[in-house]
Amino acid sequence: MAKKFGATSTTDDVLSGVDLHGKRTLITGVSAGLGVETARSLAAHGASVVGAARDQEKAQQAIAEARRDAAVTGGSIDLVSLDLANLESVRACADTLLEEGKPLDIIIANAGVMASPFGKTADGFETQFGTNHLGHFVLVNRLASLIPSGGRVIVLASSGHRYANVDLADPGFERTPYEPFVAYGRAKTANVLFAVAFDERHRAHGVRAAAVHPGAIHTELARHMDEGQMTALLETINSQLASEGKGPFQFKTVPQGAATSVWAAVVASAEDIGGRYCENCHASDVVADDVVVTPVSEGVRGYALDAANAAALWRKSEEMVGESF
């Protein structure tokens, strides 16, 4: 019988007894937080990890200890340059990996930004949508030919997808007042929809995709939130939890936050996670749009798994980046 994991499971719990020698993985955002832990845990079990990061010096320092530990078990961590907010960089990264021609058994689209002030990427896209979704959309699609049957694509999403559905008529907030968490919600919904659409297109070849919510963890992702905003958010969450008769909210540790990514990537059944939204090491149920839930409650909104919505986003994304996949 398969082991059961949950919200407090760590990467080491999930990967206990798992041998990843011979497996090659690409992980974006390996300069801090979840990306570093995801790379560490997979390499510690023998995987050859390619870590992508914008700041190469920072990434080198972040993975130094994990790289030394991986060498003991026969795993490895190498780096490649990637700026998801610049499609020239994204395409160059993909070209580098395509030229190498080595298979990628797992791609984990981990990097991202959250609740940033209004801004634009190098290509003129709203920062969060452009970085979190469009950068990964181009990267993963360009690398799809390297994913063998049995491979998986894991896209980090968030319960923040419940802040907003995608707005394909105004993805750049040209006619909509900008609100950081609405923009974050749109981008995270796009992450889920991308996994849904990618899974639909590739499962016939044995390649599956899933979206993952890691949970709430203290990482650099929250760097755009000041202490007052964080305090107010936690007060709201705890008030809602108290009204439900539940105890106060507790953050996950980084190894607990990365656990669902590695669970979905190498441990879970492909049929259980393909085209799904996962959290706390299981695939989540749909929560109706009119059901009020706390930001830390489980569940995925139906619009984030809707096949027609996913197909429409795919077409819009192709239009925006000027490529067809």
37: domain CATH number?
3.40.50.720
- Contact between residue 269 and residue 203 where contact means Cβ atoms under 8 Å apart: no
pLDDT at residue number 1: 41
Q: Alpha-carbon distance 38 to 55, whole Å?
A: 18
| Residue 2: inside a domain | no
17 in a structural domain: yes
The CA dihedral of 318, 112, 211, 90, to the nearest 10 degrees, is 40
On whether residue 218 sits in a domain, the answer given is: yes
Phi, psi torsion values for 116, nearest 5 degrees: -75, 155
Structure tokens at 18: 């798992």
Contact 48, 73 (CB under 8 A): no
Tell me what pLDDT residue 250 has. Answer: 76
* 115 φ, ψ (degrees, to nearest 5): 55, 40
Radius of gyration of the chain (CA): 18
* Contact between 210 and 261 (Cβ < 8 Å): no
Tell me if 258 is assigned to some domain.
yes
**Is 241 inside a domain boundary?**
yes
Is residue 191 within 8 Å of residue 184, measured between CB atoms? no
b/e code 249-286 from CB counts within 10 Å (16+ = b): eeebbbbbbbbbbbbbbbbbebeebbbbbbbbbbbbee
pTM, full prediction:
0.92
**Total tally of structural domains belonging to the chain:** 1
pLDDT digits (tens), the chain, 325 positions: 457 899 999 999 999 999 999 999 999 999 999 999 999 999 999 999 999 999 999 999 999 999 999 999 999 999 999 999 999 999 999 999 999 999 999 999 999 999 899 999 999 999 999 999 999 999 999 999 999 999 999 999 999 999 999 999 999 999 999 999 999 999 999 999 999 999 999 999 999 999 999 998 875 555 555 666 667 767 777 677 677 677 777 789 999 999 999 999 999 999 999 999 999 999 999 998 877 766 667 899 999 999 999 999 999 999 999 999 9
Question: What count of other Cβ atoms lies within 10 Å of the Cβ of residue 240?
Answer: 17
- What range defines the domain where residue 118 resides? 11-321
User: Would you say residue 120 lies in a domain?
Assistant: yes
71, two tokens: 């060498």
Residue 207 inside a domain? The answer is: yes
What's the CA gap between 136 and 3, in Å, rounded?
31
Active site residues: 184
CA distance 61 to 177: 39
Q: In 10 A of CB 114, how many CB atoms?
A: 21
Picking from 291, 260, 292, the residue whose alpha carbon sits closest to that of residue 277 is 260
128 touches 113 (CB < 8 A) = yes
Structure tokens, 107: 């791609």
Q: Which residues contact 214 (CB under 8 A, 6 or more apart)?
A: 34, 156, 158, 252, 257, 258, 260, 261, 279
Q: Judge whether 5 lies within some domain.
A: no
For the record, the structure tokens of 301 come out as 């909104």
